[in-house]
Amino acid sequence: MNHELHIAPGSLMNGDGQSQASASFWERTDWASFGITTLLALTVYIFTLSPDLGLENDGHFAAASMHLGVPGPPGFPIWVVYSWLFTKLPFLNIAWRIGLSSAVAGALTCGLIALMVSRGGALLMETISNVKRLPVRQENWLRIICGYVAGLAFGLDRCVWRYAVTVDPRPLGLLLFALTLCFLMRWFFKPYSKLSLYAAWLCYGMTLCNNQSLVTTFVGLLFLVALGEGKSGRDLLWSISLICWASFLAHAVGGWFSIWDSPFFNHVLVWLTAAMTLTAVGLTFQTRGFFREGKTVLICMILFFAGLGFYLLEPLFSMAVPPMNWGYPRTVEGFFHVVTRGQYETAHYSDSSGRFFIGCQIYFQIVKNYFGLAYLAAAMIPLGFLGKIPLPVRSWLVGLMQFWFFAALLMIVGLNPSADRPSVELNAFFFAASHLVLALLAGYGLMLVAVIYGKPKDGKLT
């Protein structure tokens, strides 16, 4: 299915007074929302930035960053290079400079959320049925404000703010994840331009290179691509499904992939693979084709592994014998030990539906206490208006909803969290990616409420 908006040249003007036929996808209003949100988030982060090293992993992260070394597994090579650039700043101490790199990454993530909310909000207002359009100036301000609210809702999320003001690689992982969604959004509404899709897969590979826990978003990414353009999604789903079924067979016959020894986790993976396969079958009948987008799939996979290929920087760092050289990845054994997090014990996945439902309760508590019930309620609003929203905007919203669902579900199963306070505080950040998607949906929800229930009166919104 092709979701490109077809508009006659000159027939419709965007919020900035430009013809949509000639305008770029991102408008000036979107960039204004991005800039305002980024600057305000960065201001908050700088004023609350840790002045020196903290008590957790700050010490070995700072040492690795300063000397281009190898911190704790999986090594975070992209973050090491990124934060090393900040160590060259000429003021204050090294820990503050690296903490500033976290603040910049966190603030840019907030800005990208505002950018996507502003652009998506414009598309909502253009396409939603039976609703009178607001004046252009009011629409632009509404987009900026809703983008700002969504961006800061995420940026001031306790589990995000905590790491955005310290020496830590995780804010950069969220920035790369937000970039992935930005590229996907541009491709989603202009699917003929494959460069954005390719850039998204490269960014996603870099995301997993910097933050392996975000692999839980992989299934949602595949379905989002399928909603955007059926042919590419069909072949991607077929490729991944066949790989998964071959892996299950290898596990059943040869005992490979021992991580699947958890029956409940194994069942979850089987059901997800079955869902991908059935979706691929449905798209095959709908598009009346099979593996005709092999070139697109191949390029996406090559770029994805190119993003993961930044792990190859670790042997080079290790050869320089820096003071922080975890696992000595200059050797083959050491490299795989670091990348596969070999020093840690095997993950303990949820082993029953009871444990899974406990995890769901904990996730709700984390969303309530860290993200906020008000924003969660706003994120639920688009669900009630899907019938009024035509394609392709409805597909984008549905794609984000399923993205959130799979990201949260797989993280709950993978973490198998406990209800005690230390476990909750330790695991809260791992749900930050799902909070990012909730922030996007909350921004769209606020936009819908303002557009539908804010009636123009004397030129002003009531």
Please list the pLDDT of the chain residue by residue as tens digits (462 residues): 445 443 333 333 455 544 444 458 899 999 999 999 999 999 999 999 988 887 778 888 999 999 999 998 898 999 999 999 999 998 889 999 999 999 999 999 999 999 999 999 999 888 776 666 778 888 899 999 999 999 999 999 988 998 999 999 999 999 999 999 999 999 999 888 889 999 999 999 999 999 988 998 999 999 999 998 888 889 999 999 998 888 878 767 666 555 555 667 777 788 888 999 999 999 899 888 888 888 999 999 999 999 999 999 999 999 988 888 888 999 999 999 888 887 776 777 777 778 888 888 999 999 998 999 999 999 999 998 888 888 889 999 999 999 999 999 888 888 888 888 888 888 888 899 999 999 999 999 998 888 877 655 444 444
Asked whether the bond before 392 is cis by omega within 30 degrees of 0, the reply is: yes
Question: Which residues have a Cβ under 8 Å from the Cβ of 291 and sit 6 or more positions away?
Answer: 235, 238, 297
- Whether 154 contacts 439, CB under 8 Å: yes
Coil/strand/helix, residue 185: helix
What does 219-271 look like in DSSP terms, one character per residue?
Answer: HHHHHHHHHHBHHHHHHHHHHHHHHHHHHHHHHHHH---GGGGSHHHHHHHHH
List pLDDT tens digits, range 218-270: 999 999 999 988 888 899 999 999 988 888 787 676 665 555 556 677 777 88
DSSP state of 383: G
Measured between alpha carbons, how far is 153 from 158 in angstroms, rounded to an integer?
10
Task: Please work out, in degrees rounded to the nearest 5, the angle formed at the alpha carbon of residue 434 by the alpha carbons of 419 and 2.
Answer: 150
Could you report how far apart the first and last alpha carbons of the chain are, in Å?
A: 39
Measured between alpha carbons, how far is 328 from 66 in angstroms, rounded to an integer?
18
CA 197 to chain centre: 15
- Whether 328 contacts 334, CB under 8 Å: yes
What does 400-424 look like in DSSP terms, one character per residue?
Answer: HHHHHHHHHHHHHHHH---SSHHHH
Coil/strand/helix, residue 211: coil
Element housing 457 (H / E)? strand 456-457
Measured between alpha carbons, how far is 188 from 120 in angstroms, rounded to an integer?
11
Q: Which of 358, 362, 348, 352 is nearest to 428 (CA)?
A: 362
- Whether 13 contacts 86, CB under 8 Å: no
Give 456's strand partners: 461
Measured between alpha carbons, how far is 226 from 341 in angstroms, rounded to an integer?
32
pLDDT for 246 equals 85
